[in-house]
């Protein structure tokens, strides 16, 4: 039963983990886990797996009092086609002392019986059936700890005979990222032109928004170059560092822009209230933690003992940030409703209130789509079309940016500041209807 639960957790990890099959070097130290997920890769027929293990050692676990002899045939590496996961989980439920290395639904790679005198072993396999495969290490003797160095290499063979280290479902992703980089670069140039043209009405928030576009574009071009190098060589050649660096500033600025626009900073007022400052003091440190978690997840891989913990930290912090940005928007909507009853400027308040209501709905929709819907969608999607999730996420992000930047651009007749008094009579009744809008 414990093994089947472990299999379910590893299945979830294999779905949620976006691996690009970089050439990986992993050190396993005194580990007694019954199963360890190393890599996941979408193979074409003729794809190759190479694995090398060295400095292999085993010893009784610290908490074990066993006097049993270590059986080298019950510890080793194997592949599982994703189509066989349900069969293996079902087999583990109804098999006493289930050992995955003895299952009929795995593809054996090597066991410790194959070790040479210097405790090392090299294996290479060719894939006969196209599918998404997961590489596991199995230890059916949990009373023993295992220590070893592991080098894995997975790739498909292209038409020219060269190695392609990107899984089948991720092949179009570098082009997608580069295409969106060009879009955001054009977006940034247009934003600079608009700000220069309307320099008299440019506020501080518009400069922050320009910074967001810059770091978004830089993150995308670094992501594209990262994957191009991984595709050809199996290594990002330092582009991953630039990707994480620009991704950090993009993440901080995105949530900062949402919070500042939600508070009406530099539009409605030149200052932030104390409670709004506290929101920023929560969101910015949380973004630091989230990006640290993203780096750990991206650079270590699922074989690390704390990989699941870091995933939980990442998801928890992201949820907190998403929840926190709603409060300033809700506060602004409530303040505008109260002001509409006392200041006698119905038309101006109606414009502000309508815009904030639209902004609230768009933020909710954007965060729901990118955080929840796409996570559920990728779990149901064939491995061949995983690239569509990247395209959908970037498309949704672009739509969100276009809405925000269009509605909060510097213009002569900004609805926050330049509403004519002749609209007051018509707006008075509309404001009463706005009272029915529930957050």
pLDDT tens for each residue of 289-302:
988 888 888 888 88
The torsion angles phi and psi of 110, rounded to 5 degrees, stand at -165, 155
Q: What pTM value is reported for the model? A: 0.86
Structure tokens that stand for 132 in this block: 């998404």
- What pLDDT was estimated at residue 378? 86
Structure tokens that stand for 367 in this block: 């965060």
Neighbours of 112 (CB within 10 A): 21
C-alpha angle 14/16/18, rounded to 5°?
Answer: 85
Mean pLDDT estimate for the chain: 84
Average pLDDT for residues 306-327, to the nearest whole number? 87
Distance CA 357, CA 182 (A): 31
Question: What is the edge-to-edge ordering of all strands in the sheet holding 35-43?
Answer: 35-43, 131-139, 75-81, 107-111
Contact (Cβ atoms closer than 8 angstroms) between residue 149 and residue 3: no
Structure tokens that stand for 313 in this block: 């930290």
Structure tokens that stand for 114 in this block: 């194959």
- Residue 54: which H helix or E strand, with range? strand 48-60
Give domain limits for the chain: 2-164, 172-434
Contact (Cβ atoms closer than 8 angstroms) between residue 164 and residue 155: yes
Out of 47-61, 80-94, 202-216, 418-432, pick the least confident.
Answer: 418-432
Residue 45 DSSP code: T
| Percent of the chain's residues with pLDDT above 90 | 43
The torsion angles phi and psi of 291, rounded to 5 degrees, stand at -75, -30
| Percent of the chain's residues with pLDDT above 70 | 83
Closest by CA to 76, choosing from 23, 47, 113, 28, is 113
- Residue 106: which H helix or E strand, with range? none
Closest by CA to 303, choosing from 13, 4, 1, is 13
Q: How far apart, in Å, are the Cα atoms of 76 and each of 6, 7, 112, 120, 151?
A: 17, 16, 6, 12, 14
What CATH number should be reported for the domain whose range is 172-434? 1.20.1070
Average pLDDT for residues 103-121, to the nearest whole number? 92
Question: Coil, strand, or helix at residue 107?
Answer: strand
Out of 9-13, 119-123, 367-371, 433-437, pick the least confident.
Answer: 433-437
| Model confidence pLDDT, tens digit, residues 178-198 | 999 999 999 999 999 999 998
């Amino acid at each position: 039963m414990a093994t089947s639960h472990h299999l379910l957790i590893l299945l979830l990890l294999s779905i949620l983990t976006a691996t690009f099959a970089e050439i990986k070097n992993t050190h396993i130290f005194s580990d007694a886990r019954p199963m360890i997920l190393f890599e996941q890769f979408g193979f074409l027929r003729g794809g190759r797996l190479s694995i090398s293990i060295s400095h292999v050692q085993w010893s009784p676990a610290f908490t074990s009092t066993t006097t049993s002899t270590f059986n080298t045939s019950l510890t080793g590496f194997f592949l599982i086609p994703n189509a066989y996961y349900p069969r293996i989980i079902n087999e583990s439920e109804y098999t006493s002392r289930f050992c995955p290395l003895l299952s009929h639904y795995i593809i054996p790679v090597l066991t410790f019986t194959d070790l040479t005198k210097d405790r090392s072993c090299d294996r290479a396999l060719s894939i006969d059936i196209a599918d998404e495969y997961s590489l596991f290490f199995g230890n059916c003797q949990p009373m023993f700890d295992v220590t070893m160095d592991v080098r894995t290499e997975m790739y498909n063979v292209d038409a020219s005979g060269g190695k392609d280290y990107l899984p089948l479902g991720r092949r179009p992703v570098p082009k997608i990222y580069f295409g969106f980089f060009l879009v955001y670069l054009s977006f940034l140039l247009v934003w600079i032109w608009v700000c220069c043209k309307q320099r008299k009405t440019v506020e501080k928030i518009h400069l922050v928004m320009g910074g967001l576009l810059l770091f978004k574009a830089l993150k995308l071009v670094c992501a594209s170059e990262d994957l191009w190098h991984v595709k050809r060589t199996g290594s990002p050649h330092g582009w991953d560092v630039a990707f994480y660096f620009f991704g950090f500033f993009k993440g901080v600025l995105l949530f900062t822009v949402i919070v500042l626009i939600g508070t009406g900073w530099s539009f409605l007022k030149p200052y932030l209230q104390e409670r709004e400052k506290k929101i920023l003091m929560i969101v910015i440190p949380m973004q630091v933690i989230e990006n640290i978690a993203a780096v750990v997840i991206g650079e270590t891989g699922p074989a690390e003992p704390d990989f699941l913990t870091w995933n939980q930290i990442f998801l928890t912090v992201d949820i907190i940030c998403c929840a926190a940005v709603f409060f300033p928007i809700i506060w602004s909507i409530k303040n505008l409703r109260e002001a509409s009853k006392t200041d006698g400027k119905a038309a101006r308040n109606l414009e502000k209130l309508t815009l904030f209501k639209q902004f609230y709905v768009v933020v909710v929709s954007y965060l729901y789509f990118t955080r929840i819907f796409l996570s559920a969608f990728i779990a149901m999607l064939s491995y061949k079309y995983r690239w569509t999730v990247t395209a959908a996420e970037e498309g949704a992000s672009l739509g969100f940016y276009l809405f925000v930047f269009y509605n909060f651009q510097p213009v002569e007749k900004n609805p926050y500041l330049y509403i004519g008094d002749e609209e007051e009579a018509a707006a008075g009744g509309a404001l009463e209807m706005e009272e029915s809008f529930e957050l």
